Amino acid sequence: MLRTIRAFWHDQRGIALILVSVTLPAIIGFSLLAIDMSRVNNLHNDLQKGADALALAAAAELDGQSDSITRGDHALATLVANKYTFSTSGPPQTLAAAGVTRRYLRSIPATLNPGKSSEVAGDARPITDVITDEVTDAKAARFVEVKVTPVGFSAIFPASFLTGNAANNSFDVGASAVAGFSTSVCDYTPVFICNPYEKTEAAGGLTLEQAASSRAQRRRQLILRGDKFYGPGNFSFLESPAGNGAPALKDSLAKIKPVSCYSQNGVNTKPGQNKGPVENGLNARFGLTSTYVTSDPPAQNVRMGVKNVTCNTDKTVKSVTYNTAAQGTTGLPRDGCYPNNCTPLDPAHPADAGMLGDGNWNPSGYWTANHLVPGSTTTSRPFPTDGGFTATGTEAATRYDIYKYEVDHGMIGDKSTSGDTGLPLCNQTPIAIPDRRILYGAILDCSKLALNGNVDNVPVRAFGSFFITEPIKDGKEIYVELVDITGKGGRGTLDNFLRDEAQVYR
């Protein structure tokens, strides 16, 4: 008997069955938990991907226009259909059916250094800069926050052991995303101009976009820089990525391809007239300085009504004088309201007079005086009828229309009644591409911004291209015409400069 008891005591057969029986509930429980957590993760991924997509779709419409929020809501409703399949609260559903809420934001908290105990990562900081008046402040919307209404599924593992609703053994899973839209331009010169249509637009009148699409408005000259300033200390210049000093500004104005990019979300102004550096840099585009002739040659068409020129032996210009209207033919003339103050675009703001011209110039008169038939001293070429513009009326040519027609039809060498041509002076070798008479810059709503000195992160209304109608002759004024703008209302000529990006930030 004792031997039998001792043998039974040392017999280990069947121990595995006992161990399995004891641990089986735990094994089954952890298996069910793993399945549930996998389902939770997959459901969350479904919802998060949908939230990200919805936020990106809405953010892509936030281009600073008055209808941006309306277009953002339309994108939320129509552009994304994301189905989630891991919920057990019903059949597979489209994300929009679960309910989506959104908030449009001016800004989001900057991401701080999460490694410091005294700081909180930007993603954890509360969002407070929310747009409440979505009609009036639609232009200020730069970000959108999308929240997906939490959806549930029935858990297999007993929910009482986990965070959830033990009563019905279910979980709720949601998602949220914050996305923003930014537009930037590269190869741009560090200049800005105040939006001349800001106040008329605020009064329900002419907008910048309408002006950019109208030849009659583009024909009106603008003084980019003059005696007036755009807020205390600001004379239309931006900080250059090449440096903060006047030499860096001069280099950027003269370069064929400035090494600079600017974001529509914010640019930094550079106060000061900088008359000498600006004149030297900008006039390099006409071949009127000796510093940049080799590396940054002049435009191929620089017709400017030259009376006398003295050249250096290295083909650079030593001195130049220009005809006055009484002395002979001139370059592209200024609007008729200059030099007297032009009538302000909005009569309610007479202080704005003088910066925007009236568009009153004489295209056919310029043509007759500057395009003599080769070999003749009296007979002019007929005014073009195949350029898409006219000599008078609402479709009368802009100065840029005429300039481009001269280039495209090989008329740069035509002589004027005073004997000058559009060829660069002193036998300089011009460049055809890019167009050196085009200046690229930012358009700011200066009245709203109230610029004062050096201001950082100034939001840009739009980026524009401007045709330089004449070189700087008096050290101050820069006369230009608006050619095109980015975004809505633009004609597409600036698309190659744009870098549009919708990005998820949270």
Q: Check whether the bond before 434 is cis (ω within 30° of 0).
A: yes
Which pLDDT tens digit goes with each residue over 258-316?
877 888 778 888 877 777 778 888 888 998 876 555 678 899 999 999 999 998 888 88
Rounded to whole angstroms, what are the CA distances from 457 to 216, 267, 269, 271? Answer: 33, 5, 9, 14
Structure-token match 């399995």, residue found: 20
The predicted structure's pLDDT at residue 461: 85
Q: Check whether the bond before 126 is cis (ω within 30° of 0).
A: no
Using an 8 Å Cβ cutoff, are 467 and 219 in contact?
A: no
Contacts of 419 (CB under 8 A, 6+ apart): none
How many angstroms separate the most distant Cα atoms in the chain?
Answer: 143
Average pLDDT over residues 359-383: 91
Average pLDDT over residues 364-389: 91
Contacts of 59 (CB under 8 A, 6+ apart): 72, 143, 144, 179, 180, 181, 502, 503
Query: Confidence band (pLDDT; 50, 70, 90) for 162?
Result: low
Whether the pLDDT of residue 82 is over 80: the answer is no
pTM: 0.74
Which pLDDT tens digit goes with each residue over 27-69?
666 666 666 666 667 777 777 888 888 888 888 888 777 788 8
33 CB-side CA count, 13 A: 12
Whether the pLDDT of residue 168 is over 60: the answer is no
Query: Confidence band (pLDDT; 50, 70, 90) for 113?
Result: very low
Which pLDDT tens digit goes with each residue over 391-416?
999 999 999 999 999 999 999 999 99
Structure-token match 């597979």, residue found: 92
State the burial class of residue 6 (Cβ atoms within 10 Å of its Cβ: 0-12, 13-18, 19+): exposed
The predicted structure's pLDDT at residue 58: 85
The predicted structure's pLDDT at residue 116: 45
Query: Confidence band (pLDDT; 50, 70, 90) for 123?
Result: low
Helices and strands in the chain: count of H runs, count of E runs:
12, 14
